[in-house]
Amino acid sequence: MNHEQELYEIILHAGNARAIAYEALDAAEAFDFAKAEELVKQAEEVLNEAHKAQTKLIQAELNGKAGEKTLLMIHAQDHLMTAMSEQKLIERLIRLVKKLKTP
């Protein structure tokens, strides 16, 4: 896989993980915590795929095979970091909704 394809892989997986995480939040808002927890797990798995792609790029750079620093690379990194932050925030919001629902 070439450098650009790896960047697209990061963007794709990060975006999918983010969408799944928001589905989990929607499920929690509907008090369907079983579905929310399953979706959180799915989001984590997909986010892990994005992180693996990022790790490949980092390892390549450490081995002297760095790709060109482009706007696409910055976008991919930004997309991944945003997805990771939102994932953690959504997990916390789901715990909060669960606490509020529980008497």
Catalytic residue list: 75
Alpha carbon 63 to chain centroid, angstroms: 26
Does the annotation flag 32 for ligand binding?
Answer: no
Structure tokens at 9: 């892989």
- Helix ranges (H only) for the chain are 3-29, 33-62, 71-101
| Structural contact between residues 7 and 73, judged by C-beta atoms closer than 8 angstroms | yes
Distance CA 69, CA 90 (A): 31
Binding site for Mg(2+): what residues are annotated? 78
